[in-house]
Amino acid sequence: MPMADTALTTSEESLLNGALEALLTENDPKSMSFEEFRGAQYDHGLAWVYFDEGFGGLGLSPGLQKNVDVRLREAGAKPMHPAMFFMHLAGPTIHTHGSEESKQRFLRPMFTGQERWCQLFSEPGAGSDFAGLAARAIEDGDSWVVNGQKVWNTMAHLGDWGMLVTRTDPDMPKHRGMTYFALDMKTSGVDVQPLRQITGEAEFNEVFLTDVHIPDENRIGDVGDGWRVSLTTLMNERNAIGAGSGGGPPKAGSGPVSLLTSMWRETPEHLRESVTKDRMMRLYVRSEAQRLTNIRAGQNRRQGNPGPEMSIAKLAFAELNQDLLTAAVDMMGMAGQVDYDYTFRRPEDLSVDGSENGIQHGFLRVRANSIEGGTSEIMRNILGEQVLGLPGEPRIDKDVPWIEVPRS
């Protein structure tokens, strides 16, 4: 590392340590409520350390966030509720593109958990081709009227606010006629309906928008700049899914691989097969390689928002989780095929990696890992084109006005 970078890092670490000492001297995470302590953490600039001062940050390198997470975990800070996952998407997006008023209004209650967020991007006709979305927003004085449908909206039934992307100019090419809003999910005309999954749960939703009025002050970014704003959300989503979403670096052997190793330890010695042991160890090595790679990537991150290279972590995460849970179900034998509760239910938490609610649930849940946050095919396209510099796919509708693109 160059001497200037070393000096900068030392200076930043000194500033960070001072803020941590002040936070923990004035506030005891073990005796305070989750919301109270998170509010104090935000006010001390330790929510997102790379954010601007006054908005939950100290203007430091993003890689130092892990120092905060580890220190607070050791001090007894309560873990973040899984349903708060979307703050990792909405927070950086609003900080990067939102007005001063938007940052003041949304960031603190988002971080404390007082307000939960969800994502309203995909549509029945616009999934992987997200820029083809059709939900229409028409300007009406100092507000916008939105009509359309969104789908695959994780935890939208618990959301107070939604990250909503709309079509504001159908005469522009699809990437240039989009606008991004913060939507109050309690607004008249917002109808959230469950989508039942293979797990029996309805973690996903579809959201119908009928004459929904959104104040222009809740617009995030410029009119027509929704694609660029959305990329910030999507890059942070892939980082949060693939590299973990807070609480400090994961410990060795944690997550889905722990289900596999626990099963092995509980298997009687005379039933342990060398083939199964070999399969388990190969998966453990892959799991550790990904964990350590993600930690190194976080330490080396110098800019606020992650770039396309984080598609590597998201792609590897999806494939590894599916292989881990498949191996775990195989180890269960016939028991893995029966006695699972498919009762319809609306979950209150979110287990993206499938490690929280048992092996059978995890096996079914992680099928979504290769779709949510961008399919594995899209991740490979991004890595090929934007990281490796390979020729892009033909995109014949890229410069055609959205309204002229044929649709089924």
CA 264 vs. chain centroid, Å, equals 31
Reply yes or no on whether 237 is catalytic.
yes
**Taken in order 334, 336, 339, 342, is the CA torsion positive or negative?**
negative
Query: Can you tell me which residue has the tokens 């509760």?
Result: 341
DSSP states along 178-243: EEEEEEETTSTTEEEEEE--TTSB--EEEEEEEEEEEEGGGEES-TTBHHHHHHHHHHHHHHHHHH
Structure tokens at 100: 């001063």
Nearest in space to 153 (alpha carbons), one of 142, 163, 143: 163
Q: Which of 237, 288, 348, 385 is catalytic?
A: 237
Q: How many CA atoms lie within 13 A of 79 on its CB side?
A: 10
Q: Which helix (H) or strand (E) holds 97?
A: helix 87-97
Nearest in space to 304 (alpha carbons), one of 82, 83, 61, 84: 61
Write down how long the chain is: 408
Whether 57 contacts 236, CB under 8 Å: no
Show which residues are catalytic: 237
